[in-house]
Structures are given as C-alpha cells and as structure tokens.
A and B are shown apart, each in its own frame.
Chain A
Amino acid sequence: MWLRFGVTVFFILAIAAAVWDIVPWFEIQRWAVGEQRTFQNVMAGALRGIQAGNPQAVWTLCSATAAYGFFHALGPGHGKVLIGGASLASGATLKRLSILTFLSSLAQAATAIFLVGGLYFILQIGSADLTDLTETWLAPASYVAIAAIGAVLIFRGARCWYQISHVKQDTHGCCGHSHGPSFNDVATLTSTRDAVALIASIAIRPCTGALFVLVIAARFDAFAVGCLAVVAMGFGTAVFNQIVATSGVAARRLIGLGARDPKGMQAISATLHLIIGFMIIAISVGMLLP
C-alpha cells in the first residue's frame, strides 16, 4: 500500500509541477494589475457620474465592477484555493462546480450588501470600522472555515486509503467514484451539506473593494445602484473562478488517465483528497499567521 501511495503522490506532484512551470504567472499577474487599475478608475468616474445624476453611469459602473471582479480574482485569494481544490479532489461534475462557483460569488456579494446595509445604515458604523471588522474577524473566520474543509478532505482521503488497503472485496467505490451505493458515502461535494459549507466559507468574507463601492454609493444616496454593481462584481469573480474550476476538473481528468483500473482511480482520488487537503490547510494557515 505505501509503495502505491508513494507512486501516486509522486505522479500527481510531477504533473502539478510541470503545469505550474508552463504558466507565466508573473506576466499574467502584472497584466491583471494594470487592468485592475484601469477598471478601478472607471469605477471612480462612474460613481461620480452617479453622484451627478447621470443615468448612463449605472451601466458604466456595473461593467467596470464586473471587470474589476474578474481581474481582481486573478490575484491570490481565498475563493480560488477552495474552488480549485474542490474541483481537483471532488467527484463533482463541472456543471455542479459551475453552479457552486456562481453561488459562492453571489453569496459573497450578498454578505457585503448585508454588512453595509446592516452595520453602516442601521448601526451607523463608519466605513473604516467596517473594513477593520472584515479584516480582523471575517477574513480569519473564512480561513479557519477553509482550513476545516481541508481537514475534512484529509480525513476522507485517509479513510478511503484505509478502505483500499483493508477491504478486500472490490467493486465498492469511495471518494466520489462509487458505482451504486457506497458503504461510507464519502463523495465529496456531491451532497448539499458539502455545497453549503463551501459556499459559506467563501461568503463569510466580503471583498474590501465591494465594501468600498457600497459605502461610496451610499454616500451618494445610491445604495441600490451600489448593490447592483456589487452583484455585477460577483459575476466577474465567478467567471474567473469558473476558469479555475474548469482547469481543476481538466487536471483531475488528466491525472485520472494514469489509472489503469477502478481501484487505481480510487487510489488517485484518495491521494488527491490528501494532497489538496494539506495544501488548503497550509495556505489558509499561512494566510492566518500575522
């Protein structure tokens, strides 16, 4: 078993390293930063237009926030870690992952709207305190939740390996590749409970950019327009995360080509659970440290 485990881990990491090396991360990020700067300025212009009562400015603002959401998502962020990890490790279909991606981005926009709507309007909390609250409490809460999901993945991967090595009668699946009823129902992300956990852990923490758009819009007596713009931003982010999810599923299939039999596929899936689980924990703990 250990040999098989070692070979599987090596195989997966080798593919990951090869793919990582091909992508020109630095150039992509530089380009994204330039685009973000452009759209950030368009957003400012549109917000001033709204203040001046120009109806066209609403559409300019929404297009700019959507583009901002997309390019801002190109930087490192908590949602991608989870969406990417989930699409690699889980047995969920691309369609299901797409829905989850859009729901989590929209839920994140909703959090921003509720935060600003509730705290800023009702409790009269200033925007500086609002971002303070987000960064001091909500961001760490989100990372803790994400780390917990990583732990669940590790648990499921370990349990699956245990079953592979100890249960001799085959044909039963685990880790989302079950044909017929599985004995432990460990299919990651195929249950509603898993989906809700994933969406919630992303949505806890709103984007500071979204908070600022909302408070500025509120200052200009156009909170509703701000809400619309933030939803558009969520869609932009979702489109980018969609690319991440698609790559994740493609990578999972690519890795799956290495499996010679259903049992091999199970071993790969279990190993992916372990590797992704550890990666998610490492990254979220890294983000939590001061």
Chain B
Amino acid sequence: MLSAMCLGGVTKAHPHVFVDARTGFIFGSDKQLETIKISWRYDAFTTLVLFETLELDQDKDGQLNDADRVKILEGETNWPKDYKGDIYLEVLGHDYPLGRPEAAAVTLNANQIEVSFDLPLSQPVRVDSTPIFLRLYDPFFYFAYTIVSAKASPDLPEDCEAQIVLFEPTAAESVIQDKLAALGREDRPEIENVGRLFSDEVQLTCG
C-alpha cells in the first residue's frame, strides 16, 4: 500500500483510501500500558487495488494464500524509517514514541482486506485519570481513517476506560478549520497539528 499509493504527499489533499480502524490496549501490572493493538480494514476498492498492484490471488480462488499474506504484510508492516503508521499516542501533551509492528496478521472478509498488528510502547506508561490520546491520521489525508469499536478488545484493567471520540466539528471550530484546511492545501504549515484536529481519537483513562 505504501509503495504503491503513498507517493508524493502534499498534492494528496483528498483521500483515496478509506480505512476502518480498530484499536485495543494491552496492560501489564499496575495499570501500565505496554502495547497498542491496531487493525486496519481497507475499503473494497482499495482491496481490489491491492490485489492488482501486489498481484495477489494468482490461482484466482478468491482467497488469500500464504504467499499473498507475506506480500501484504511486507508492505503493511515493514515501515520505512520515517513512517510511523499514521499512529500517534499523546501522553501529557507529547507524542509518545512507539515501536514497530509485531504479531501481524491479515484476513480477507466480505471482499475487504484487514491487517492487524501489535505496536509496543517504547516504555510502558502508567495510565491515571489524565487521559492518554490515541489518534490515527494521515497528515496528507491520502488515507482517511475512521475509528470503529473493536469486535473483541482485550480486557482493560478495572477502573480503566477507552472511549472513542469521533471527530465532529462544531460551528465555531469549523471556522478555524476552514482556515487550517485552506492552509494545509497550499502552504503546509504545522501539518501534523492540522491532521490531529480532524481525526477521531480514543481517550484512555484509569480510575
């Protein structure tokens, strides 16, 4: 996906790829957040594009075989150095460093490819009542992420809560966003921050 579609950048101010994303959190002892679970389900058209660009399903049985899965995961989880998976964890107002994908898997359901993996935190973080934010967004908006609720997320520790807050512009906000959107297209300011404003987020708190 990256090699095939994430070319250029600034010209891609409208999305081509739609992703339904699911998130989960794995805790160690004492409410220490250790790992984030992510899954990306691509839209049906992008799935067709992936089949075509990666030359999947050579036997034309409509199913993925092991070779297909290897090809997909190579592109999806062997990230270039400067790519962070469009995944941003904010702890106390700062971007928190994350590791690289582990335990990756891929499935094909209802003609949609879904990739899932674990992303360990560089250091576990103790979660308290100050929310930690997980946001998924492409600063160039070539990929449009929507966070949907997880089918079966790992159990959170007692008193902990992960709440999906879908992006909804209010009238007052949207004036600022109009201006930011206009800037983002032509002048490219603090683009990371612009993307952040438009994204869905998961707020994680404990007791």
Give the interface of A toward B (CB within 8 A). 24-27, 29-30, 32-33, 36-37, 40-41, 43-45, 47-48, 72, 74-77, 126-128, 131-132, 135-136, 139, 208-209, 212, 215-216, 219, 282-283, 286-287, 289-290
For A209, the closest partner residue in chain B by CB is B16
For B188, the closest partner residue in chain A by CB is A286
Q: Would you call B144 and A139 a contact (CB within 8 A)?
A: no
**Inter-chain contacts of A40 with B (CB < 8 A):** 18, 43-46
For B180, the closest partner residue in chain A by CB is A26
Cα–Cα distance between A147 and B111 once the two chains are bound (Å) = 42
**Inter-chain contacts of A126 with B (CB < 8 A):** 53, 55
B46 to A: closest C-beta gap in Å = 8
The answer, yes or no, to whether B49 is at the interface (CB within 8 Å) is yes
Cα–Cα distance between A45 and B11 once the two chains are bound (Å) = 28
Which stretch of B2-10, B80-88, B126-134 is in the interface?
B2-10
What are 17 A-B contacts with C-beta separation under 8 Å?
Answer: A25-B178, A29-B14, A32-B14, A36-B14, A36-B15, A37-B144, A44-B111, A74-B14, A76-B13, A128-B53, A131-B7, A132-B7, A208-B5, A215-B52, A216-B48, A219-B51, A290-B9
Known: A24-B178, A127-B53, A216-B48. 9 other contacts (CB 8 A): A33-B15, A47-B45, A72-B14, A131-B53, A136-B7, A282-B186, A283-B186, A286-B188, A290-B10
**Inter-chain contacts of B182 with A (CB < 8 A):** 25
**Inter-chain contacts of B174 with A (CB < 8 A):** 24, 26-27
Cα–Cα distance between A219 and B56 once the two chains are bound (Å) = 11
Q: Would you call B4 and A33 a contact (CB within 8 A)?
A: no
The answer, yes or no, to whether B207 is at the interface (CB within 8 Å) is no
How many residue pairs link A and B with beta carbons under 8 A? The number is: 99
Given A25-B178, A127-B52, A216-B52, do A33 and B14 touch, yes or no (CB 8 Å)?
A: yes
Q: Would you call B52 and A33 a contact (CB within 8 A)?
A: no
Give the interface of B toward A (CB within 8 A). 3-5, 7-11, 13-16, 18, 43-49, 51-55, 111, 144, 169, 174, 177-178, 181-182, 185-188
Given A29-B181, A76-B185, A287-B11, do A131 and B43 touch, yes or no (CB 8 Å)?
A: no
Cα–Cα distance between A132 and B13 once the two chains are bound (Å) = 18
Cα–Cα distance between A45 and B47 once the two chains are bound (Å) = 11
Given A37-B144, A41-B43, A48-B111, do A75 and B13 touch, yes or no (CB 8 Å)?
A: yes
For B17, the closest partner residue in chain A by CB is A40
A206 to B: closest C-beta gap in Å = 14
**Inter-chain contacts of B111 with A (CB < 8 A):** 44, 48
**Inter-chain contacts of A26 with B (CB < 8 A):** 169, 174, 177-178, 181
**Inter-chain contacts of B178 with A (CB < 8 A):** 24-26
**Inter-chain contacts of B13 with A (CB < 8 A):** 75-76
